[in-house]
A = this chain, B = another copy of it.
């Protein structure tokens, strides 16, 4: 199967599971569940769930083992977008071409839906699962919580907001992105490996390195798309980083420099998986997809 078809299969799988899992939430306040549903099912690329499934498969596990982790990491990603879009944060009205959660609902509902989505991720991973041993589930909870909070994604977001308008060094920009997006992308690979029960240190180390590299590559390409992309394809206003004077790779390295950086990260990502031969092909194809995507 071609990668794009495989990504569609995984995206559909997580998009089928998410509403089923949401049904277990209380019906006390239906509007909260509607807002969670809206935030989860608004046409995201589902890169993180795909990485969970790919990594689980690469480590010899069945997709069933990865289902809840794929849904959980998408819940964390979705909550972060809902909160990032709030007026006090990035103040964005559009996300993937649709009104953001606080526009479609209201600000209080968006704050609470984000809070509930984060919690939902940990509910999913801590639910009793006859297919996973408790220590494996615990490891997955540890991976996701470690990557999401004050030592991960939220720290990166806070650093980003604190430095709008500042000149960052390349090291600072890289650190910011490693936290803001990189930690969760690497966590997706680690979750898939943990779901499959992989404990081989070299495999885990190489998957982590691959994750760190494609995470940064993803961000460099995001920055380039903000400049070179097209509002309709992007589903958000082109040029919004520049308009907000945000530190980006192109602002620091120029467009050609950012492209060269992207190619270097891409090459290193491919190299990190070389020892695994053809079994790593889907992961290599995903690295290619990340650097060539147009939205």
Contacts and interface: CB of A to CB of B under 8 A. Distances in A.
Interface of A: 22, 24-26, 28-29, 31-33, 36, 79-80, 83, 86, 88-89, 106-109, 111-112, 114-116, 118-120, 122-123, 125-128, 133-135, 137-138, 141-142, 144-146, 148-152, 154-159, 161-162, 175-176, 179
B159 A29 contact: yes
A25 B149 contact: yes
Q: Is the interface of A mostly helix, strand, loop or mixed?
A: helix
Lowest 3 A-B CB distances belong to which pairs?
Answer: A119-B149, A88-B107, A126-B141
Copies of this chain held together in the complex: 2
A123 B128 CA distance: 19
24 contacts: A25-B155, A29-B155, A29-B158, A31-B158, A31-B162, A83-B111, A89-B108, A89-B111, A115-B149, A118-B119, A118-B149, A119-B145, A119-B148, A119-B150, A120-B150, A122-B122, A122-B144, A122-B145, A123-B142, A126-B141, A127-B142, A134-B134, A134-B137, A137-B138
A168 to B, nearest CB: 12
A199 to B, nearest CB: 14
Contacts of A162: 29, 31
Nearest to A27: B155
Contacts of A112: 83, 154, 157-158, 161
